[in-house]
Structure 1
Amino acid sequence: MKAKSLLLQTTLAGAAVLLAASAHATVLTFDLDPDIPNYGDIPGSYGDNVNAASDAVGTYLMGNGYTPNVTTEYRTWQISTDTVAYNNLDFWHDSYGDLSKVAFSVTSSDHFAEITLVPEPGWAIRLNSFDLAGYPGVDHPNSQVRILDGTSNTVLLDYSPVTILGAGGTHSTFTPSLTFAGPISIRFGYNDWNVGIDNINFDQVTAVPEPETYAMLLAGLGLIGFMARRGKQSV
């Protein structure tokens, strides 16, 4: 029994290692290379398939590792028509509270900003946290902040209405800790391009147990069953 128990523990431990190894994290700080001026377009490829602390587009902070199986999309939506007005967000260096290098809506009235994290098949997104702050160093009350299914636009989490901090060198931190097996969108800055986003912390995690994990578990359980039958026959 001791040998069988040890084998089962080893098999399960191997499966746990496979699943744990598949979890990674990236923090989008909008530190671009080369630096761009205020009102410059955030490069559409910033945050795509991150597998190092820097790439040809910019640099990142690392949470638990990298996110090589996730891409990013940036859009500015028009509210009245419910259509995408611009396939990008703009960049600003400072004065959004105490944040530096932020992304914000291309235009203000009748628009909002959206950042979508898109996982490759077999992967899910865990949105850990992100920061928002008000320009020029003031609070922005009655703001709207939403997390949506990036495919159907179904609202998954709604913080609205909320005051976005900025006065006195402050900012607001949101910690949805939300895992979703598909594209996930952050929407903010409704009718207000003076709300900017920074420090988007997200993981990529396996959407389902990997095939090799199943194979390992089945092989281990099959071997345990074989050993049990041999034990009975030898009695």
Structure 2
Amino acid sequence: MKARSLLLQTTLTGAAVLLAASAHATVLTFDLDPGLPNYGDIPGTYGDNVNAASDAVGSYLTGNGYTPNVTTEYRTWQISTDTVAYNNLDFWATGYGDLTNVAFSVVSGDHFAEITLVPEPGWAIRLNSFDIGGYNVSDHPNSQVRILDGTSNTVLIDYSPLTILGSGGTHSSFTPGLTYNGPLSIRFGYNDWNVGIDNINFDQVTAVPEPETYAMLLAGLGLIGFMARRRKQSV
């Protein structure tokens, strides 16, 4: 009886590990070291494998911990050709509403900005929140903000169209609360580099099994229960 209980407990613990949301959060504030001038290129490694409040690239805020199993990618896309124009975004210190130190598209019209969070195998991304503000301390109507599958570019959440706040020292906040097993992209600043992003709050969490794996896991638990009942009946 004791052995059976131990076996079931071990199996259930394994299932819990697969399904658990072991969250660790990082907040990208774009506080870079050394500080960048306006229009400076944000380093492509900012936000990669964060395991401390600062590294050689810059500093971060933390929520539930760090995200050592996530990397970041920055791109500026050209809309008319649907191609990547630059593998980076630019930095600006102030003026995007009340936000300081933001990332924005390298080029204005016919372009948009993209930040992609890429989890290592076995991990998923939980995108908690992010802020976007309008330059020069002004509102920007008819803006577009989207969250996509970073591999297929399938749109998962579309906030468009909306007005990005900035006047009177304000900004717009987004709280998608989205958990995703693969790369997750935030796109913003369509035809408008005068909207900038800040305070991207995300977790790395244990990846949820695909439906086939989950079904196999449940089947395995059912088989163990059946074997336990047969053993009890034969005693």
- TM bucket by the smaller chain? 0.7 to 0.9
Q: Deviations over 1:60-106 (max 9, x none)?
A: 11111111111100011111111111110000111111100000001
Opposite residue 163 of structure 2, the aligned amino acid is T
Q: Deviations over 1:29-78 (max 9, x none)?
A: 10111111111000000000111111111111111111111110001111
Conserved? CA contact 2:74–2:87, under 8 Å: yes
Residue correspondence of structure 1 range 25-44 to structure 2 within 5 A: 25-44=25-44
Q: Which residue of the partner structure matches residue 231 of structure 2?
A: 229
Taking a change above 3 Å as real, the CA distance of residues 46 and 225 of structure 1, as seen in their structure-2 partners, is same
Distance in structure 2 (CA, Å) of the matches to 1:22 and 1:90: 33
Deviation at 1:4, TM superposition (A): 7.3
Distance in structure 2 (CA, Å) of the matches to 1:5 and 1:165: 57
Aligned sequence identity (%): 81
Conserved? CA contact 1:43–1:57, under 8 Å: yes
Opposite residue 116 of structure 2, the aligned amino acid is T
Instruction: Indicate the SS of the match to 2:38.
Output: coil
Instruction: Indicate the SS of the match to 1:142.
Output: strand
Q: Deviations over 1:116-172 (max 9, x none)?
A: 111111211111110000001001011000111111111111100000000111110
Runs of 4+ in 1 over 2 A off after TM superposition: 1-23, 221-233
Instruction: Indicate the SS of the match to 2:76.
Output: strand
Q: Which residue of the partner structure matches residue 102 of structure 1?
A: 102
Conserved? CA contact 2:181–2:208, under 8 Å: no
Deviation at 1:208, TM superposition (A): 3.3
Taking a change above 3 Å as real, the CA distance of residues 72 and 8 of structure 1, as seen in their structure-2 partners, is same
Q: Deviations over 1:205-227 (max 9, x none)?
A: 12236x9xx99xx79x9699669
Deviation at 1:5, TM superposition (A): 7.0
**Normalising by structure 2, what TM-score?**
0.85
Conserved? CA contact 1:144–1:162, under 8 Å: yes
Q: Which residue of the partner structure matches residue 117 of structure 1?
A: 117
Taking a change above 3 Å as real, the CA distance of residues 228 and 59 of structure 1, as seen in their structure-2 partners, is farther
Q: Which residue of the partner structure matches residue 91 of structure 1?
A: 91
Q: Which residue of the partner structure matches residue 197 of structure 2?
A: 197
Distance in structure 2 (CA, Å) of the matches to 1:228 and 1:23: 39
Distance in structure 1 (CA, Å) of the matches to 2:51 and 2:97: 30
**Residue-pair matches, total:** 230
Instruction: Indicate the SS of the match to 2:208.
Output: coil
Conserved? CA contact 2:127–2:178, under 8 Å: yes
Moved more, 174-183 or 40-49: 174-183
Distance in structure 2 (CA, Å) of the matches to 1:115 and 1:61: 18
Q: Which residue of the partner structure matches residue 126 of structure 1?
A: 126
Instruction: Indicate the SS of the match to 1:130.
Output: strand
Moved more, 70-79 or 18-27: 18-27
Q: CA RMSD in A?
A: 3.1
Distance in structure 2 (CA, Å) of the matches to 1:110 and 1:223: 60
Alignment partner of 1:206 is 2:184: no
Q: Which residue of the partner structure matches residue 180 of structure 1?
A: 180
